[in-house]
Chain A
Amino acid sequence: MNPDSNQLIFDQPDDHQYLVNKRTFTDEELFEAEYSQIYDKLWLYVGHETEIPKPGDFVTRTIARRPLLLVRGSDGHVQVYLNTCTHNGSLVCREPAGNRDFFPCAYHGWVFDRDGELKEVPGESAFGPQFSKSANGLPTPPSQASYQGFVFISFAERGDLPDYLAGAKEYLDILSASSTDGMKVMPGTHIYGTSANWKMLPVNVIDGNHFLPTHVTYLQYLQERGSEMKHPIRDFHESVLGNGHTVFEYEAPWGRPQGKPDASWSDEVNAQVEARREELIERLGPELGDRIARKNRNLVIFPNLIINDIMGVTIRLAEPVSAGYMDVTAWQIAPTDDPPELAQVRNEQFLTFLGPGGFATPDDIEGMEASQRGFATYREVPWANYSKGIAAEIAGGLTNPGESDFMTRAFFNAWQGYLGITNFSELP
């Protein structure tokens, strides 16, 4: 059967074929449909509670095109507000981060406090006797909830964050249990743009196929610095976690400051890493403790949140700007109690692979941007091929890492399910 080039996805397991239409990465009308069906409806990550530890601490952020303000209130509770004055709509906070008791709107002088209450209105009496300050506090998104310190909002009315996170909850639990004193987001943010469709970022993380061709130079770096490279990626499992979320969990050649020593590190650092491993095993039992210490986890929470607990631990968020461009923000989350010499090694581990200056992430970005440019041929060469592993799945055989696209297929199946259409002709 030949695919109809108006289909979003061509899924023919009998032919061992799963093809995604490249136009889904380039079409601005479909992009708007993604906003209305996905970004305006699902749970979206905004930030982590540890970014604003004290009452009055705040950060501002653009999420799904809306300006948001996250503030820790007087009672210690973290609240997300829509960063817009209830008077004339101006931003009430024009700083990226800080600590404030009050958010005075610069335009007409309305003043809100750190609990979102409207405290001052110049010329209030002119609004008449029916005007009430208490009814004009800072507006909030329709839904907000946190899980293990990860703050999510939705622009739809919903109360089901734990159900939405589904199997991803276990991995947020695991990350949060990585340190006795908890984990915190470190200051210093990687802020960059990528000239590629937003779906490419999660798919890049899901897709184990790209690792060897894309990241050979990183493995060479590890080898040259003296890391033990005998064993390739091993002891792995890949899981579809529900609602479009996925995880790839595995042991890799590199050490993990979280609990796996590395031959290239000093004896003192390795002793601290070993102690961390022993503490995990003592506190959480041999199975879970060993799993946290030794294994890497690439977690994708649909649609745009990535948490890679690998050689370093990063939270990465894609903000779709247009069909062919996204803003990316990435943070490091780390144990609150790392001694400086371990923190130094941890940062080296992070930065030599991850981020816009690493020895690996820039190659991922190059791959995504080169794909986006290639996708301009969608009329002549419509299909991106995610068929790897279908034949083995049907035969009931297991595949090795990088030998199946089944998680990528799960991502696109969920995506199409949320969109609620299967064909470009159904676009409004």
Chain B
Amino acid sequence: MNSLPVPKQSTSPIQNSEVETFLSTEAWLLDTWQLDKWLGMFDPQARYQVPSTDGHHLNSVESLYLVDDDYRQLCFRVKRFDLPQGHAEQPHSITQRLVTNVLVHSEQNGVIDVTAGFSIFRSRHGVQSQYVGRYEHRLIRVDGELKFLNRKSLLVMPGLGVAGTVSIIV
């Protein structure tokens, strides 16, 4: 998204506050583990993507991502959180997300490109670790409601380090 146009708030019919509310709602649903409701924020054509920490600019076919879910895989990812043998998140991590720096970059034909900064504090087995990064999402409006068409999370970290996995949604 390096080539994104400079944000033009004044000519964009979508209000920044609507995107902020959308992203804050998402963070709330994830932190409170209401993942079925969270899935409802996705269009069935959507992908959830996390590029490798050293490959932010690469596409998902020609490089190795950490996560590159289509909707079917994403549905299983959500289901796995509640399977007793989904060991990596049994018991669930405790998380608090901070989402800031929300910008609307463009809105064309109902497709809205937004970015935001995030940090996720995650506690697991008595240890806290942190994910820091930037969202580069593509949203669409379906029947008046915003939905994810591409939910892309760039981890701005030298590697996952002690966080170890991306077993939570980042």
A: residues with CB less than 8 A from B are 96-97, 186-195, 213-214, 216-217, 220-221, 224-225, 327, 331-332, 340, 343-344, 347-348, 350-352, 355-357, 359, 361-363, 365-367, 369, 373
Contact = CB atoms under 8 A, between A and B. Distances in A.
Given A224-B76, A357-B50, A189 B64 contact: yes
Given A188-B65, A347-B68, A367-B87, 6 more contacts: A188-B58, A192-B159, A193-B159, A216-B83, A363-B88, A369-B125
A34 to B, nearest CB: 22
A351 B76 contact: no
B76 A340 contact: no
A32 to B, nearest CB: 22
B162 interface: yes
B86 interface: yes
Nearest to A212: B85
Nearest to A344: B61
B165 A365 contact: yes
A46 B73 CA distance: 33
A350 B164 contact: no
B64 A357 contact: no
A367 B63 CA distance: 28
Contact of A351 (B55, B68, B83, B162): B68
B167 interface: yes
Contacts of B58: 187-188
Nearest to B169: A357
B141 to A, nearest CB: 28
Nearest to A340: B61
B130 to A, nearest CB: 13
Interface in B124-167: 125, 158-167
A187 B165 CA distance: 19
Nearest to B53: A191
Nearest to A192: B160
Interface of B: 50-55, 58, 60-68, 70, 72-73, 76-77, 80, 83, 85-89, 125, 158-167
Contact of A356 (B55, B60, B158, B164): B164
Residues of B contacting A: mostly: loop
A343 B158 CA distance: 26
Contact of A187 (B63, B67, B73): B63
Contacts of A224: 76
Nearest to A186: B64
A220 B73 CA distance: 12
B88 A343 contact: no
A343 B62 contact: yes
Contacts of B161: 192-193
A356 B166 contact: yes
27 contacts: A97-B54, A187-B58, A187-B62, A187-B63, A189-B55, A190-B52, A191-B52, A191-B159, A192-B159, A192-B160, A192-B163, A193-B162, A194-B164, A195-B164, A214-B87, A217-B80, A220-B83, A347-B60, A348-B68, A348-B70, A351-B67, A357-B50, A357-B66, A362-B88, A363-B86, A365-B164, A373-B125
